[in-house]
């Protein structure tokens, strides 16, 4: 089974995409540790200081994601990539509340590097996932909702081979099924970029995630960086 890959049509339109993929089995979730909570709080303050008065639209990684969204017909001021949405929330309210260890860790690294990060419970993708253009007949259940909806044809989605979508509008929002829960133990983590310097940023974010993941003593982690030449995880 291929755990994650980019479809050829995606790579043809977005040849500069870089994807960092981490597969981790044996993680611990639930409330964040004292150390992770402190690091998360400190990172929020550091990010606010680093951004200052810079408009988020001028942050290179976020500007590139805005262009990617426009490329499949989505207004990026109406639907923002996950990293921009987090940073917008932070700059407007001054803080982002803690939720659980895996979500807090993903958010911490996302605001640090201004990159969208998804932490996907592997139970949601038993046959793996592919980044592709939607046909329009797929199924997506939004967080907090019970009835599925369908993505627009041509929208970029994370989907399995049955048409179950775990992320809409590429990195706008994850599905209810894929979100990390308190009993989550096995995850797929994605970090993606389109901007110049994206590979170095993705690799730095991967190092941070691997250093901070709450792992059991017998945990297993695998990682890979994907691009146009290497679009499929080797595990």
Q: Are strands 156-159 and 165-168 parallel, antiparallel or unpaired?
A: antiparallel
Whether the predicted pLDDT of 1 surpasses 80: no
pLDDT at 195: 98
Structural domains of the chain, ranges and CATH numbers in brackets: 4-226 (3.50.40.10)
Confidence of residue 2 (pLDDT cuts 50, 70, 90): confident
Phi, psi for 193 (deg, rounded to 5): -150, 155
215-228 per-position pLDDT tens digit:
999 999 999 999 99
Q: Taking the CA of residue 50 as centre, how many other CA atoms within 13 Å lie in the half-sphere pointing to its CB?
A: 14
Q: What is the per-residue pLDDT across 68-106, written as a single tens digit (0 to 9) for each?
A: 999 999 999 999 999 999 999 999 999 999 999 999 999
Q: Looking at residue 145, what is its pLDDT?
A: 85
The pLDDT of residue 170 is above 80: yes
Count Cβ atoms below 10 Å from residue 220 Cβ, excluding itself: 11
């Amino acid at each position: 089974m291929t755990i994650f890959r980019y479809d050829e049509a995606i790579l043809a339109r977005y040849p500069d995409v870089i994807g960092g993929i981490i597969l981790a089995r044996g993680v611990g979730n639930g409330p964040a540790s004292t150390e992770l909570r402190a690091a998360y709080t400190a990172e929020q303050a550091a990010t606010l200081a680093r951004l200052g008065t810079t408009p988020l639209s001028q942050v290179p990684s976020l500007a590139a994601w805005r262009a990617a969204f426009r490329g499949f017909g989505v207004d990026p001021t109406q639907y923002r990539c996950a990293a921009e949405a987090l940073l917008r929330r932070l700059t407007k309210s001054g803080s982002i509340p803690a939720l659980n260890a895996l979500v807090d860790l993903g958010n911490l690294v996302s605001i640090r590097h201004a990159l969208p990060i998804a932490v996907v419970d592997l139970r949601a993708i038993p046959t793996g996932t592919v980044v592709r253009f939607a046909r329009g007949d797929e199924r997506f259940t939004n967080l907090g909702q019970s009835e599925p909806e369908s993505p627009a044809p041509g929208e970029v989605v994370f989907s399995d081979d049955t048409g179950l979508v775990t992320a809409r509008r590429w990195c706008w929002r994850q599905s209810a099924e894929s979100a990390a829960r308190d009993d989550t133990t096995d995850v797929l983590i994605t970090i993606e970029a389109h901007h110049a310097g994206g590979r170095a940023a993705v690799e730095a974010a991967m190092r941070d995630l691997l250093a901070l993941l709450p792992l059991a003593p017998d945990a297993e982690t695998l990682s890979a960086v994907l691009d146009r030449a290497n679009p499929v995880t080797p595990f």
